[in-house]
Structure 1
Amino acid sequence: MFERARRLIASCVIAAATAVAPVASTAQAQVPYLQLLPATQPKYAAVVVDAKTGEVLYAKRADSPRYPASITKVMTLYLAFEALAAGRLRLDDQIVVSPRAAAQAPTKLGLRAGETISVQDAILAMCTKSANDMAVAMAEKLGGSEARFAAMMTLRAHELGMRNTRFVNASGLPDSRQISTARDIAILSRAVMRDYPQYYGFFGAKNFTYRGVSMRNHNGMLNTMPGVDGIKTGYTNASGFNIAVSAVRENRRLITVVLGAPSTAVRNENAEDLMLTGFDVMARRDRGEKITIAQNLFEPEPSGPITRPSIAQGDGEQDGLKIVLASATPPASASRTKIVEPGKTALRGKKGGRWVVQVGAFKSKSDAKEQITLVTKRFGKHFDARDGEIGGKVAGSYRARFSGYTEASARDACQALKAKRMACMVVKPT
């Protein structure tokens, strides 16, 4: 730790020197600044969390909107693990690669349209190679379409407490609408460990061999820092170099998220600095010291009076000192919606109206039922206590509907869904 501290002090000295000394070239002057002070970069955001308690040990722009890039796949995998745990999916099930999945931009596994791959291999391809084609194939397997799966991702994110996150695709390929934060990514990372520990090990796979080709995990920290066992990296031009990483040391687990670094090397070094300092801070606290990560990194504390506790904030803009995970699945009693399947009679007029709100049409009854459940959880104000119906098959699709509305309440409900870019249609009484 003393060597790391010495290096950080030297970094500050070098950066200060370059600001006042004659400069031989712009590139030479920028190297220390870029490589040694990543927190000064405009895209940078970071958070360090105690995985056991959720305590935020350090935060820098943790709630500022950022592009998650391929860290998106952690949510894709979370929903895959959820399906595996529920028995709706098995590791040896086969996924058919669609033309859309096959057409995804690299990085990808490269299967052709019509080829199949096992669920387990698709998961490993996402965890190691960050395969975009496998993310889309999994999305289509679980959601019917990538667009519907992205809506499922966003709903689950909000249920987990990721208040500032929105997903529009399953891979993390560039899209200006796909936004998250360092804090939200830490929440997701912690949720994966809490809810599906039996599958978390996939993130620690250092290599994956498929059809005779061996691929190394993009997360190089698995090989360079003892104790690291996951979870995911990401990069696009817009996002910069991102990582969510977790490590265990002396029976303590930390989760660190670094977003917007200027290079892989800077990202990994900064994440390691934060992680090692976090472990050191926790150990020193056990000995009775009052110390923060910011202090241990020789980072200035926020200026001005502090009116609330700042256990280890890297700046003064954070709202909370603890990451609290919401329930992955709301209690069964949380919703009073009744789902009426085809061939059965719905209880209409419960709220004094005969108008209907249709929230989608699906190839299977199970998908329609799942959509009713998802809409009820996310938009309970408008749909809870209504009668959810799975309409009879029309043109090859089952309609997911809610009944018992007046015209005004039906239009209000649809407006709420459309505001979140979700399908909705008001149906007049017949």
Structure 2
Amino acid sequence: MQAKSIIVSRSASSVFPSRYRSLVVRAITALSLAASIVMADSVNADAEAANSKYAGIVVDAKTGNVLYSENADRLQYPASLTKMMTLYLTFEALEQGRIRLDTPVPFSAFASAQQPTKLGVRPGGTITVEQAILGLVTLSANDASTALGELLAGTEGRFAQVMTAKAHALGMTRTTYRNANGLPNTAQMTTARDQARLGIALRQHFPQYYGYFSTQSFKFGQRVIRSHNRLVGSVRGVDGIKTGYTRAAGFNLVSSVEVDGKSIVGVVLGGASTPARDNQMRKLIATYLPKASSRRGSSELIAQTPPQPAPVAETRVASAAPDVSLPRTAPAPDTRYQPASTQVAYSDVAKPKSDNPLLQEMPAPTKVKTQSIKQASIATPTPAPAYVPPEQGDVSVDEVTTASTKETQPTGWAVQIGVSASKEGAMDLLDGAKSKGGKVLRFAKPFAVANAGSYRARFGGFEDQRSAVNACTALKRAGVKCWATAQ
């Protein structure tokens, strides 16, 4: 290309007057450079097309618009992206008060025997739930992931069933889980589109725990464990989420990006190498983040079927699971995690529910608190407290509250309108919503549910899902953000 431009430049010098020659030569050089760039992009595109495992998608997290898609619905192996669902269910259990961050996670012989990468906890040892979370988001620890699954559901097989049920409830209709960590299993499949949906759900449903995904390193015993996700801290706006690799799957990555009011989730599956995967994600972010919307809206759906609540039977199994094979008095952990710095902020103003059509009628998109964790450290080892069942601890659902009367929490379905840092703030939210709801809330019971230092503002007394959804729809028309949830 350079030789051709030189020849053309020389030809130009003989045709154009001297006063125009420099301008013409510059123009020809610029065109030559542009052609070189186009050819380079073409070569990159050809290389991607030649990779038979490649699939990718970029989704506007605010609107649900698919900004880029290639093989997005093809079944592929998730590898360690599987741990995103393990973490989703862990965050859900924390939010429901079934476990705490300091709850001991016992390691069975089966969990300890998982293939690397892993923390290397011996059978009979324990770590805290928080240490397990950090082990998953940084090292992608297979043993910790299995141990969490056993804690939440008794066995990994049962946990995989709960994972699959939750995936389908989120609209991940083509995803099937068979284990908690993503180690090879030919029946464990997903798609790029489904992983994008899960990435969006993690951020929007659990903002109080999402900060863990930005952890770049933490100290475990004498080891400093650094994150496998090289884009966190090196690409502006990237705050997670997860990497993955097996020989059959290739190199996988899900990245969430939020910059200047715009938010996208990108997925790359089947990359040829770590650098190739990461470079492809950088390219996708640079190309499609500017095209994302800064306003919420509704447009193209990631899946044709909107997400529905998980089957009640599956939810009950998961809720009862912590008592299965979990000792009342657990062995002391080898190390105990203490965050070096944690920023927590609460607001009495409920954040509006997302209008993203991917996540309609899904629970807990309200931002209660935010954690910013860049590096964590382990203090001097101390015994972890014994596990306290939810009904005995402070984190269980409290007695509620209509203005001054303590009553039993309503059963059935409820409509949640927001979350506040105080009970009084939650009741104020309910009073404001009731004044707008009119007849639709005539027989509804306002109450506040305590959860991890915050209070959920809810209207109860709905007999079934349909009546709760109808009430919520009427509230939305009146300008009140809400969602239906089972009690």
TM-score norm. by structure 2 comes to 0.55
Alignment correspondent of 2:263: 253
Counterpart Cα distance in 2 of 1:221 and 1:137:
28
Counterpart Cα distance in 2 of 1:177 and 1:86:
30
1:149 pairs with one of 141, 159, 163: 159
Q: Deviations over 1:214-246 (max 9, x none)?
A: 111111000320110010000000011000001
Judge which range, 167-176 or 191-200, deviates more. Answer: 191-200
Alignment correspondent of 2:113: 103
Q: Structure 1 residues 365 and 222 mapped into 2: Cα distance closer, same or farther (>3 Å)?
A: closer
Q: Please state whether the residue corresponding to 1:222 is helix, strand or coil.
A: coil
Q: Please state whether the residue corresponding to 1:37 is helix, strand or coil.
A: helix
Shift of 1:136: 0.4
AA aligned opposite 1:85: E
Unaligned 5+ runs, structure 2: 1-31, 325-487
Q: Structure 1 residues 335 and 99 mapped into 2: Cα distance closer, same or farther (>3 Å)?
A: closer
Q: Structure 1 residues 326 and 363 mapped into 2: Cα distance closer, same or farther (>3 Å)?
A: closer
Q: Deviations over 1:69-118 (max 9, x none)?
A: 00000000000001000000100000111100100000000011011100
Matched, 1:158 2:184: no
Does the 8 Å CA contact 1:54/1:323 hold for their aligned counterparts? no
Alignment correspondent of 1:139: 149
Alignment of 1:59-74 (within 5 A): 59-74=69-84
Matched, 1:58 2:84: no
Alignment correspondent of 2:202: 192
Counterpart Cα distance in 2 of 1:221 and 1:7:
29
Q: Structure 1 residues 9 and 49 mapped into 2: Cα distance closer, same or farther (>3 Å)?
A: farther
AA aligned opposite 2:252: N
Q: Structure 1 residues 94 and 78 mapped into 2: Cα distance closer, same or farther (>3 Å)?
A: same
AA aligned opposite 1:59: S
Counterpart Cα distance in 2 of 1:109 and 1:198:
25
Matched, 1:118 2:128: yes
1:129 pairs with one of 132, 139, 142: 139
AA aligned opposite 2:60: D
Shift of 1:280: 2.3
Shift of 1:325: 8.7
AA aligned opposite 2:259: R
Does the 8 Å CA contact 1:38/1:270 hold for their aligned counterparts? no
Q: Please state whether the residue corresponding to 2:150 is helix, strand or coil.
A: helix
TM-score norm. by structure 1 comes to 0.62
Counterpart Cα distance in 1 of 2:322 and 2:227:
38
Shift of 1:279: 1.7
Matched, 1:277 2:287: yes
Q: Deviations over 1:108-130 (max 9, x none)?
A: 00011011100000010001000
AA aligned opposite 2:268: V
1:223 pairs with one of 226, 233, 241: 233
- Identity in percent: 42
Q: Structure 1 residues 279 and 90 mapped into 2: Cα distance closer, same or farther (>3 Å)?
A: same
Alignment correspondent of 1:43: 53
Shift of 1:196: 0.8
Counterpart Cα distance in 2 of 1:184 and 1:266:
22
Counterpart Cα distance in 2 of 1:97 and 1:247:
34
Shift of 1:7: 10
Q: Structure 1 residues 94 and 274 mapped into 2: Cα distance closer, same or farther (>3 Å)?
A: same
Provide the aligned length of Structure 1 versus Structure 2. 289
Q: Deviations over 1:199-224 (max 9, x none)?
A: 11111101121102111111100032
Alignment correspondent of 1:239: 249
Counterpart Cα distance in 2 of 1:195 and 1:156:
13
Does the 8 Å CA contact 2:154/2:322 hold for their aligned counterparts? no
Q: Structure 1 residues 240 and 8 mapped into 2: Cα distance closer, same or farther (>3 Å)?
A: farther
Shift of 1:38: 2.5
Unaligned 5+ runs, structure 1: 1-5, 17-31, 287-310, 312-319, 340-359, 368-430
Counterpart Cα distance in 1 of 2:250 and 2:283:
19
Does the 8 Å CA contact 2:106/2:127 hold for their aligned counterparts? yes
Shift of 1:9: 7.0
Shift of 1:14: 4.8
Shift of 1:62: 0.3
Q: Structure 1 residues 183 and 336 mapped into 2: Cα distance closer, same or farther (>3 Å)?
A: closer
1:207 pairs with one of 217, 223, 226: 217
AA aligned opposite 1:99: A
Q: Structure 1 residues 80 and 10 mapped into 2: Cα distance closer, same or farther (>3 Å)?
A: farther
Alignment correspondent of 1:265: 275
Counterpart Cα distance in 2 of 1:9 and 1:68:
38
AA aligned opposite 1:61: N
Greater Rg, structure 1 or structure 2? 2
Alignment of 1:325-340 (within 5 A): 326=306, 329=309
Alignment correspondent of 1:171: 181
AA aligned opposite 2:220: Y
Q: Please state whether the residue corresponding to 1:134 is helix, strand or coil.
A: helix
AA aligned opposite 1:68: P
Alignment of 1:10-29 (within 5 A): 10=36, 13-14=39-40
Q: Please state whether the residue corresponding to 2:232 is helix, strand or coil.
A: helix
Does the 8 Å CA contact 1:109/1:133 hold for their aligned counterparts? yes
Counterpart Cα distance in 2 of 1:68 and 1:114:
29
AA aligned opposite 2:39: V
Does the 8 Å CA contact 2:152/2:322 hold for their aligned counterparts? no
Alignment of 1:281-300 (within 5 A): 281-282=291-292
Shift of 1:335: 6.6
